[in-house]
Chains A and B, each alone.
Chain A
Amino acid sequence: MSDMNQNMLAKYRSSFLKEVEANVEEGHMVKMCMQCGVCSGSCPMQNHWDHPPQELFMMIRANKREEVLTSSSMWMCTSCYNCIARCPRGLPITHIMHGLATYAKRLGKVPEGQPTAKFAQKMWDNLKQKGRTNELKLGLALYFMNGFGEGVKKALSMQDVGLGMVKTGRLNPMELLGGHGIKDVAGLQKMLAKAEAIENQHIAEYKG
């Protein structure tokens, strides 16, 4: 890491808010929160998270970097948009939540075994292979996400639905053998690899 990067890190360490503003989608709006708590009261997931949104925003302002980035809260967001609709200050809370999740993922701070993060990764890996999502493979990957036994059970219970979809032409079992893709898969993969390299270079200064 260069000296400049070291300095920058030192600066951001002392003010996590600035780091969020620079790296998180809509992060510049975090400072506009007035701590009324309407978002927390509106969230359907309020019994499942570690920190309510307005507390998360206060933690950002209070430089609680590790606690924010490793929090489960932003991974719990179901994008119902209640908070955005109700925020008297017009903060794009849902977007900020997804932005925080993305940033945490880039920094490798995702909580161990977080199911939303796990599935998101599977979706991405699936998409990357052919440039399209292979729905059959993705579905099966979801069934087997938590182990082989559970996967078999889930697959059997969904047997009838699956067969029905095959019959009506909504599902092609042949997709299991590779599946169809876009025209220039190799080109896409090259593009993504380049983008990832740039991303990694950029994010390196915040990793530590």
Chain B
Amino acid sequence: MADMKIGAYICKGCGIEERLDVKQLVTTAKRDGKAAVSKDHEFLCNADGVKMIQNDIDNDGVNRVVIVGCSRRAKTEAFNFEGVTLSRANIREGVIWVRPDNEESQETTQEMADDYVRMACAEAKAMKLPESSGEQPLTRRIMVVGGGITGLTAAIEAANTGYEVDLIEKSGALGGAVAGFYKRVPGKNGLQGPVDNDIAKLIAAVEGSSQIKVHLNSSIATTDGAPGRFSVTLEDGAAFTVGAIVQATGFKSYDMSLLTEFSPEAPDVIDQLTFEQRVKAANGAIKKADGSDAQNVVFVQCAGQRSEKPGHLSYCSGHCCNTSVKQAHYVKAAGGDATVIFTDLRTPGATGEDFYRSGQEAGVTFSKGCVSSVSAKGEVNYKDLILNEEITVNADIVVLATGMVPNSGPNPYLVLDRAQAKEDGKTELVATLDAEIAIQPASILNLQYRQGSDLPILRDGFNDSHFICFPYETRRTGIYAAGPIRRPMDIVQAVEDATGATLKAIQACENAALGRAAHPRSGDLSFPTFRKEGCTQCKRCTVECPFGAINEDDKGYPQYNEARCRRCGTCMGACPVRVISFENYSVETVGQQIKNVSIPEEFEEKPRILMLACENDAYPALDMAGMTHQEYSSFVRIIPVRCLGSVNTIWITDALNSGFDGIILAGCQKGDNYQCHFVKGSEMAHYRMSKIDDTLKQLNLEKERVATLEVAITDIQRLPAEINKMADTIKEIGMSPFKF
């Protein structure tokens, strides 16, 4: 870009003119902000205002636009200019709407607005215009791992959009678990009872498609690269390039031999999958293991699941109640008696409740009870919870509704943790990790990533798929989890998952070709680069990236893979020597904003509070606080950040050194139920801030001056309260001694 020329445009609409001295803001932009052009306008977001700005860009060489008016989250379509950077000073939601309209507040409210103008101009000065890297071409081909109903659906959906597909299946046949089903729970109209299993049609469609290449008896030797350019090699030597990956490796049944109280060794105590296969083999007849007819079948729900006992599954697998209803239908249709013993009958899905009714209509006995034991002869002992008594029923076959265990790959971090523990000389930890590594399943993707071979796991062995906000999004960009590897589910949900994940995979391919971020900062062209001369090869960035986006070269320098990057800036926050930056977001863009807040002299008794607010939740919550006119202290200056993970501690130190009296960091919920868009960003920020106490001690400052919060987008009353609380705290402990 040629010479920098800042144009600041101050809007007078929405009541700004009535509340603030706009002339002074124009002067501030010119004098303090060094804006070459500084204008006000009655109504900046209307066609005339936008035309004025566009005219300056076209004819006057303005290339750094500063909009002073509403929040950066408002009017984004109006203020959308090509070829220039954009900074926004939020004096509507952030100033006039949160301050009382009276004489005595006038001075501090104006100071607030002036500061935001200075900050936006300072940011504009430090920003550059991002450009697409062109790192990868458009690859209209995806890889689907797993040939079960999820994988087959994913493949056919992708093929239907014109994409090519490589479908990898470990076994010698397509169809997965569903291929072994006699019938299935209906997707529509539950009252009709079980319906024919039509997986054969799906298999035929996949096999008949010219766009889908099926690799049977195959597993993956290596996967390398990034979205748009994943290069995959199979064990048999075949190699190809795909733009994105859908992992749909399915589930296995919980190992029922662990349920010793249910006589798992008895030939007629079996799990649901085995019963299903037995009925299919006998074409609907209900047979005992010795081939004789079975009259009475008892289904034991929640066998080894929804239980806190060691070795049991703590979760509900979601499909088992419907599956037992379906299998009880088989028994009734064959003329036998079926009893389902449950504690809570859960039949999720649009058809679930009606399907339950269909079972009752068919005469299946549903008994609310808790099974304590099953004898090898088939005596089921249970406590009836309605009649409150111990009951024994004799069954020819006992079917245990055991849960789903995901077929996910190994936890990729174990090997890394072990290496670190070894380096640190922690022999005990090494031994624990070795034991854990020994029981991990074989790798599925064999990713050649700095952060391990497979998709990270959240809990209970399920792959992390950001289940709260963004299903299918794993912690590896361009690789999507679908089906029971991300949570337990039934056929209908698995098919829906496959469709969603495939769409995501296609988006990833298309965005990668344009050099844009796919999620959650979709369309973002900026990507992190580092200044090699300054890098100390400390590896913090490569270790802390939540998405495994950064590899290391032979010398230990970070190797960025722009298409794997989500643009959260966690690496930027991690870097102790501050060499990592984005074109339009860097240590400098935020640091300059902090430096350009005017700090009043101590005797003026106007403290300054810096608030770094996550742009995904905390900042919108603050906007909404403004829209609902919640009042908060005029001493706060709020800077939105991409993620709390991008907060570099230098900002905190600099702010304290330059006389800020308090600092609030507002990020998202962390932990297993995280709400962080970038999974680990908030967690990293909290971890780093837990170490800030030393800095405060060195500066001889009270630790109450820095607060790190976990907030949600709904905290529109809490956030103003937290700001006011910090203002009160400062009143109590006094002003910072660092004002010059």
Residues of A within 8 A of B387 (CB): 55, 58-59, 62, 64
Partner of A62, one of B356, B360, B391: B391
B386–A34 CB distance below 8 A: no
In the assembly, what is the distance between CA of A116 and CA of B194, in Å? 46
A55–B386 CB distance below 8 A: yes
In the assembly, what is the distance between CA of A55 and CA of B387, in Å? 7
Residues of A within 8 A of B386 (CB): 35, 54-55, 58
Residues of A within 8 A of B391 (CB): 62
The verdict on B367 contacting chain A, using a C-beta distance below 8 Å, is yes
The verdict on A31 contacting chain B, using a C-beta distance below 8 Å, is yes
Residues of A within 8 A of B357 (CB): 32, 89
In the assembly, what is the distance between CA of A61 and CA of B387, in Å? 11
Partner of A58, one of B345, B361, B363, B384: B384
How far in angstroms is the closest Cβ of chain A from B383?
13
A61–B365 CB distance below 8 A: yes
A31–B363 CB distance below 8 A: yes
The verdict on B366 contacting chain A, using a C-beta distance below 8 Å, is yes
The verdict on B312 contacting chain A, using a C-beta distance below 8 Å, is no
Task: Name which residue of chain A comes closest to B356, CB basis.
Answer: A34
The verdict on B368 contacting chain A, using a C-beta distance below 8 Å, is yes
Residues of B within 8 A of A54 (CB): 386
Residues of A within 8 A of B366 (CB): 34-35
In the assembly, what is the distance between CA of A61 and CA of B357, in Å? 16
How far in angstroms is the closest Cβ of chain A from B179?
33
Residues of A within 8 A of B363 (CB): 31
| In the complex, per-residue mask of B354-375: 1 if CB is within 8 Å of any chain A CB, else 0 | 0011001101011110000000
In the assembly, what is the distance between CA of A54 and CA of B368, in Å? 12
Task: Name which residue of chain A comes closest to B357, CB basis.
Answer: A32
Q: Which size bracket describes the interface of B in this complex?
A: 10 to 19
In the assembly, what is the distance between CA of A31 and CA of B356, in Å? 12
In the assembly, what is the distance between CA of A35 and CA of B365, in Å? 12
How far in angstroms is the closest Cβ of chain A from B368?
5
Residues of A within 8 A of B360 (CB): 31-32, 34
Task: Name which residue of chain A comes closest to B368, CB basis.
Answer: A35
Chain B facing A: main interface SS: mixed
In the assembly, what is the distance between CA of A59 and CA of B384, in Å? 10
A34–B365 CB distance below 8 A: no
In the assembly, what is the distance between CA of A26 and CA of B345, in Å? 25
| In the complex, per-residue mask of A38-64: 1 if CB is within 8 Å of any chain B CB, else 0 | 000000000000000011001101101
B368–A32 CB distance below 8 A: no
A62–B384 CB distance below 8 A: yes
| In the complex, per-residue mask of B632-676: 1 if CB is within 8 Å of any chain A CB, else 0 | 000000000000000000000000000000000000000000000
How far in angstroms is the closest Cβ of chain B from A178?
52
| In the complex, per-residue mask of A3-32: 1 if CB is within 8 Å of any chain B CB, else 0 | 000000000000000000000000000011
How far in angstroms is the closest Cβ of chain A from B727?
51
How far in angstroms is the closest Cβ of chain B from A105?
24
Residues of B within 8 A of A64 (CB): 387
Task: Name which residue of chain B comes closest to A54, CB basis.
Answer: B386
Chain A 61-92 residues near chain B, CB threshold 8 A: 61-62, 64, 89
How far in angstroms is the closest Cβ of chain A from B314?
25
How far in angstroms is the closest Cβ of chain B from A149?
42
Residues of B within 8 A of A32 (CB): 357, 360-361
Residues of B within 8 A of A58 (CB): 367-368, 384, 386-387
| In the complex, per-residue mask of B149-170: 1 if CB is within 8 Å of any chain A CB, else 0 | 0000000000000000000000
In the assembly, what is the distance between CA of A32 and CA of B363, in Å? 9
| In the complex, per-residue mask of B382-410: 1 if CB is within 8 Å of any chain A CB, else 0 | 00101100010000000000000000000
Task: Name which residue of chain B comes closest to A59, CB basis.
Answer: B387
In the assembly, what is the distance between CA of A89 and CA of B356, in Å? 11
From B345, B357, B366, name the one whose CB has the most chain A CB atoms within 10 angstroms: B366
Residues of A within 8 A of B368 (CB): 35, 58
Residues of B within 8 A of A35 (CB): 366, 368, 386
B345–A34 CB distance below 8 A: yes
In the assembly, what is the distance between CA of A34 and CA of B352, in Å? 13
In the assembly, what is the distance between CA of A96 and CA of B591, in Å? 76
In the assembly, what is the distance between CA of A134 and CA of B247, in Å? 81
In the assembly, what is the distance between CA of A31 and CA of B386, in Å? 15
Chain B 290-338 residues near chain A, CB threshold 8 A: none
Residues of B within 8 A of A55 (CB): 386-387
Residues of B within 8 A of A59 (CB): 387
Residues of B within 8 A of A61 (CB): 365, 367
Residues of B within 8 A of A89 (CB): 357
In the assembly, what is the distance between CA of A32 and CA of B364, in Å? 10
How far in angstroms is the closest Cβ of chain B from A19?
14
| In the complex, per-residue mask of B66-109: 1 if CB is within 8 Å of any chain A CB, else 0 | 00000000000000000000000000000000000000000000
In the assembly, what is the distance between CA of A55 and CA of B367, in Å? 11
In the assembly, what is the distance between CA of A32 and CA of B365, in Å? 10
In the assembly, what is the distance between CA of A54 and CA of B366, in Å? 13
How far in angstroms is the closest Cβ of chain A from B118?
62
In the assembly, what is the distance between CA of A175 and CA of B356, in Å? 58
In the assembly, what is the distance between CA of A34 and CA of B365, in Å? 11
In the assembly, what is the distance between CA of A35 and CA of B361, in Å? 15
How far in angstroms is the closest Cβ of chain A from B386?
4
Residues of A within 8 A of B361 (CB): 31-32
| In the complex, per-residue mask of A84-111: 1 if CB is within 8 Å of any chain B CB, else 0 | 0000010000000000000000000000
Task: Name which residue of chain A comes closest to B363, CB basis.
Answer: A31
Task: Name which residue of chain A comes closest to B391, CB basis.
Answer: A62
| In the complex, per-residue mask of A129-143: 1 if CB is within 8 Å of any chain B CB, else 0 | 000000000000000
In the assembly, what is the distance between CA of A31 and CA of B340, in Å? 13
Task: Name which residue of chain B comes closest to A31, CB basis.
Answer: B360
How far in angstroms is the closest Cβ of chain A from B321?
12
In the assembly, what is the distance between CA of A31 and CA of B365, in Å? 8
Q: Hey, which bits of chain A sit against chain B, CB under 8 A?
A: 31-32, 34-35, 54-55, 58-59, 61-62, 64, 89
Given A58-B386, A58-B387, A89-B357: 5 more A-B contacts, CB < 8 Å: A31-B360, A32-B360, A34-B360, A54-B386, A61-B367
The 5 closest A-B pairs by CB, nearest first: A58-B386, A32-B360, A35-B368, A31-B360, A55-B386
- List 15 A-B residue pairs with CB atoms under 8 Å apart, sorted by A's residue number: A31-B361, A32-B357, A32-B360, A32-B361, A34-B356, A34-B360, A58-B367, A58-B368, A58-B384, A58-B386, A58-B387, A59-B387, A61-B365, A61-B367, A62-B384
